[in-house]
Chain A
Amino acid sequence: MFPSSFDYVAARSVEEAVAAKAGAGDDARVLAGGQSLIPMMKMRLAAPAQLVDINRVPGLDALERTNGQLRVGALVRHADIARSDLAFGAIASAAPWISDPLVRNLGTLCGSVAHCDPEGDWNSVLLATGADVVARGPSGERTIPITDFVVDFFTNALRDDEMVTEVRIPVPNGRSGGSYQKLERKVGDYATVAVAAHLELGGTGAIARAGVALTAVVPKNTKVTAAENVLVGNHPSTELFEEAAELAAQASEPRDDVRGSAEWKRNVVRVFTRRALTAAAAQAQQG
């Protein structure tokens, strides 16, 4: 497999990367882990004129908790998150489900977020927990809520001259739990169906915040607001979770394909939403 020819810039700083990108317009692409971009180039599905490699930019690999936020830099690999004690709830649950160890060692959370592949896992997790994407352009930095960042499949809210420097995820301070339930055909496969669930419990034990989001069964990673609304204010119970699961199933728009029928996928959304919420509640109630 031989990609088309392209120019290559190894940026040494965010400023350099942004400048290179600004210079080349939408024909330039940031190269992070390369786990989506390189395969697309090899199959000639993508033919960027220029690659701006950020792997040598110092400081982008920070994974830390500050100001009640988990900050994930643009060079933090999936494997770093899977190994880290700082990850929590749905984030910790999802990390080992991203592809296989080879991809996890190189691929980045920020790259996955930027890529906006509806079969990618991280955007659903972040839609459930809430998160801000930090973008840097020639004129400075701005913060984009994840709900606004994911515009459509393979489409994010970045301008041509911007790149993502980090993602900030709020760390709940009360009792919380989360879970990511993914059906894959084998290790290394994208999701056929996946559901992210995040719950925060109030003092009475009722649900104070809820996040539910779907992967691969909707045209883009999607937050199921109807299910979240049903959950908030109520105590965790099987009936409640079944009701939310039904709403999630209704919100899904699966299609028949080689992975299976739409009807079956919708059923799996239902089952997995219930299981994810049950696991999230059990975790919240323990902690």
Chain B
Amino acid sequence: MTLTQKPSTPPEIGGIGHSVRRHEDDRFIVGQGRYLDDHTLPGMLHMAILRSPLPHARINSIDTSAAAAVDGVVAVVTGELLAQYNLAWMPTLSGDTQAVLATDKVRFQGQEVAAVVATDPYIAEDALELIEVDYEPLPVITSPQQSLAADAVLIRDDKEGQTSNLVYEWEAGDGAATEVAFARADRVVSLETHYPRSHPSPLETCGCLADVNSATGQATIYMTSQAPHAIRTVFAMVAGLPEQNIRIISPDIGGGFGNKVPVYPGYVVATAASLVIGKPVKWVESRSENLISTGFARDYHMKGELALTNDGRILALRVQMLSDQGAFYADAQPTQFRAGLFHVVTGSYDFPAAHVQCRGAYTNKAPGGVAYRCSFRITEASYLIERLVQTAAYELGIDPADIRFKNFIQPDQFPYETPTGFVYDSGDYPTALRSALDAIGYEKLRAEQAAARDEGRFVGIGIAHFTEAVGAGPSKKYDILGLKMIDSAELRVHPTGKAILKLGVRSQGQGHETTFAQIVADELGIPVTDIKVVEGDTDNTPYGLGTYASRSTPVAGAAAAVVSRKIADKARKIAAHLLEAADDDIELQNGVFSVKGTPGRSVTIADVSLAAYTNLPDGMEYGLEDVHYYDPPNLTYPYGSYVVVVDVDPETGVWKARRVVALDDCGVRINPMIVEGQIHGGLTEGFAKSSMQWITFDEEGNCSGSNFMDYLIPTAWETPRFELLETCTPSPHHPIGAKGVGESATVGSPAAYVNAVIDAVAHLGVRNIDMPLLPDRVWSAIQSARATGG
């Protein structure tokens, strides 16, 4: 571990470690970005979707005649019509099926029932109001507990052999060893908590513009997709179109956060409509449609128990988790892992035994379970263990910082295999936490807290130390629908020494056009401004599984480094030829190839690039171009220590975060400015989840959260100020030592905020308040703790 990291290239080259200004921002800032809805094609039609107002109902009939008669309406599409093309249902990324347009029943409020294609979007919207659907309401299930009750109505009666609402059962760890440890424990501490449903709500909603050429059968689909290549393959499978005839172009994306990974019914219907009508069809969701129907996240009901010794040493962890999957099981996650990477729940602590049992249940809610800015359910896992350890501290009367120091995996234990099978690559957790505590002035704050309590003021200090597992993943274990989770980079250096790097991933705002260019700049010494990064067009980039789960830098970033090294090897040979020296005597530094020991004799990368097309040694292939498919040997494990201080108003339950100190270690930072931006974003999302941002449903299954007046996203006004710290522990197996950071703070920070509020009222005996910590929940917790004499 080092505390600071220094760039090895000069600023003109702008390699790793430079806070290079983001290349993409020029066009975004002046309004020259090109998002999906900016695209138009000649003769383009517009599609709007009719959605179910009811969460669970049988469809008796759909009458589309009045809608079809409206001037300007070209087609009205129903599930019955799609069924004729075998498109009424489609596979989900978790191997379940999902209705494209409902035929038999609607299973959640907002489900797609019919679509209108018209010459303008207003007409399409007007015509929707004329479609008459005869629904027969069915009992509604709004919780997984209700769903698994013996007498619950069967939601998925479409699935042969499905006799209950259970979606899956899955477990990790060693049940027997865990039982033994619990039997030996001095103390068992438990916590039950719900990580509520939320929605990634990217500012740009989802949509597509499908253009199927009836003469050639070529389908060009502009789509808001984080994973264009994988989606193309899925499309080929769903629609039976030859894969070479499908071109998915994912233009500039206005935020994804996991929401733009799945295939949505709108994409399928628009493409089918274009195919049948022979004209381009555009479909763009409204805000409400995005919020009520597309991939949600979280919604885990968790119970965790720790077996401990009296002095606070953890012996084992036992977890039971029940997930609310909505009407279709559509988690975007590796096939082997039915609850994503939730089994990373042992966190940053060293103990021998764990047992994690997971179940999922269908409910009458929107499908999804996407990795909202997290690596497949790691957010839920990190939240549970950090809340649980904090609870144990109160129950055992140990300081919440001390119990963590006592149980941390120590620096000399890496690589460290956890009881659920992860192999953590590197870390120094004690130094991280100690630094964060020192920065916030922990001991002084504890004194202030005690004094404040005497005056009736509530101050709380919350800690969370998280370890993430990102960069899925090694082909041995990680695939989605059978596709291995590799990723790729293709690099061509042109005769003038300028380069184009193409990748299989897709940036949604993360700054790939800058950071991946920096990796190449660092390896080859080509100035970062001379490198163009291309992503998002399946006809024009190498295959890859896409951008989510913090995998771009760990996987595609690694591919960019490796492909640069392949190019460097060839360039070295060309330089040797130009310098009339032996290959082995050539050194490359900052874009200059020189002969070892004779510094005067050198050529530049630009000279070599020209030679690659003009003057080569005999027998060498022309060009300076290569591609690399990277199969990561392991995941990477970024971590961090967050400390939050809050003030709670005992009279109203309103709380405010006074200070937030966040230490992150994501290995080598390619662009420190972008890394800090990612951390700011994640800390804001953590604040959002802990305080206000959730989707909930009333007992009738109505979604309350269908617009930004009801689904709350904090503004800069209420978001606290952040103080960032860092350490740098490179990943030993990643080509440049980077670990990925896009999601760290989203994963790590919710527990820090919640622990802080709980800490403010823990002296009254409060141990849990479920997120979001709305003032009324905090106030009620204080009231009931006081009533029971806390």
Contact = CB atoms under 8 A, between A and B. Distances in A.
Interface of A: 1-2, 4-5, 43-44, 100, 183, 185-190, 258-261, 263-265, 267-268, 271
B696 interface: yes
B779 interface: yes
B715 A188 contact: yes
Query: Chain A at the B interface: mostly helix, strand, loop or mixed?
Result: loop
B653 to A, nearest CB: 7
B718 A187 contact: yes
21 contacts: A1-B288, A2-B125, A43-B288, A44-B129, A183-B652, A186-B692, A186-B717, A187-B718, A189-B712, A190-B709, A258-B704, A258-B710, A259-B776, A260-B775, A260-B777, A261-B776, A264-B653, A264-B776, A267-B652, A267-B779, A271-B652
B651 interface: yes
Given A2-B121, A258-B696, A187 B717 contact: yes
Q: Interface centre among B287, B717, B776, by most A CB within 10 Å?
A: B776
Contacts of A260: 774-777
Contacts of A267: 651-652, 779
B652 A189 contact: no
B779 A4 contact: no
B286 interface: yes
Contacts of B121: 2
Given A5-B126, A264-B653, 9 more contacts: A2-B122, A43-B707, A183-B775, A186-B712, A186-B713, A187-B717, A258-B704, A260-B776, A260-B777
A265 B692 CA distance: 17
Question: Top 9 A-B pairs ranked by shortest CB distance?
Answer: A260-B776, A264-B776, A187-B717, A2-B125, A271-B651, A2-B122, A187-B715, A1-B286, A258-B704
A189 B714 CA distance: 10
Contacts of B696: 258
B780 interface: yes
B714 A186 contact: yes
B712 A261 contact: no
A102 to B, nearest CB: 11
Contacts of A259: 774, 776
Contacts of B445: none
A185 B692 contact: yes
A268 B392 CA distance: 33
B439 interface: no
Given A183-B652, A186-B715, A189-B712, A1 B775 contact: no
Contact of B709 (A5, A189, A263): A189
B654 interface: yes
A11 to B, nearest CB: 25
Nearest to A5: B122
Given A261-B780, A264-B780, A100 B715 contact: yes
Contacts of A190: 709
A264 B775 contact: yes
A236 to B, nearest CB: 20
A186 B692 CA distance: 8
B689 to A, nearest CB: 13
A185 B712 CA distance: 8
Contacts of A189: 709, 712
Contacts of B125: 2
Contacts of B122: 2, 5
B322 to A, nearest CB: 23
Interface residues of B, number: 30
A259 B704 CA distance: 11
A43 B121 CA distance: 14
A114 B555 CA distance: 58
B109 to A, nearest CB: 15
Contacts, number: 59
Interface in B636-667: 651-654
A34 B710 CA distance: 20
A187 B719 CA distance: 10
A78 B413 CA distance: 61
Contacts of B692: 185-186
A185 B287 CA distance: 20
A258 B774 CA distance: 9
Nearest to B124: A2
B705 to A, nearest CB: 8
A214 to B, nearest CB: 16
Contacts of B713: 186
Nearest to B651: A271
B709 A183 contact: no
A285 B121 CA distance: 60
A268 B775 CA distance: 10
Chain B CB within 10 Å, residue with most, of A44, A260, A263? A260
Contacts of A187: 715, 717-718
A264 B692 CA distance: 17
Contacts of B774: 185, 259-260
Nearest to B121: A2
A263 B652 CA distance: 11
Contacts of A44: 129
B287 A1 contact: yes
A121 B332 CA distance: 44
Contacts of A185: 692, 712, 774
Contacts of A43: 288, 707
Contacts of A268: 652, 775
A250 B629 CA distance: 69
A73 to B, nearest CB: 28
Nearest to B48: A2
B651 to A, nearest CB: 5
Nearest to B289: A1
Interface string B92-126: 00000000000000000000000000000110011
Contacts of A188: 715
A260 B287 CA distance: 25
B687 to A, nearest CB: 11
Contacts of B709: 189-190
A99 B776 CA distance: 21
A17 to B, nearest CB: 26
Contacts of A1: 286-288
A274 to B, nearest CB: 9
Contacts of B287: 1
A180 B756 CA distance: 30
Contacts of B652: 183, 267-268, 271
Contacts of A271: 651-652
Nearest to B779: A264
Interface string B545-575: 0000000000000000000000000000000
B778 to A, nearest CB: 9
Nearest to B708: A188
Contact of B718 (A183, A186, A258): A186
A73 B390 CA distance: 57
A184 to B, nearest CB: 9
Interface string B695-729: 01000000010010110111101100000000000
A195 to B, nearest CB: 12
A43 B710 CA distance: 14
A44 B128 CA distance: 12
Interface in B716-771: 717-718
B582 to A, nearest CB: 67
A185 B708 CA distance: 12
A2 B47 CA distance: 12
Contacts of A261: 776, 780
Most chain B C-beta atoms within 10 Å of own C-beta, residue among A5, A187, A258, A263? A258
Interface in B173-208: none
Nearest to B697: A258
A267 B780 CA distance: 11
A183 B654 contact: yes
A186 B774 CA distance: 11
A5 B774 CA distance: 40
Contacts of A5: 122, 126
A43 to B, nearest CB: 8
Contacts of B717: 100, 186-187
A263 B653 CA distance: 13
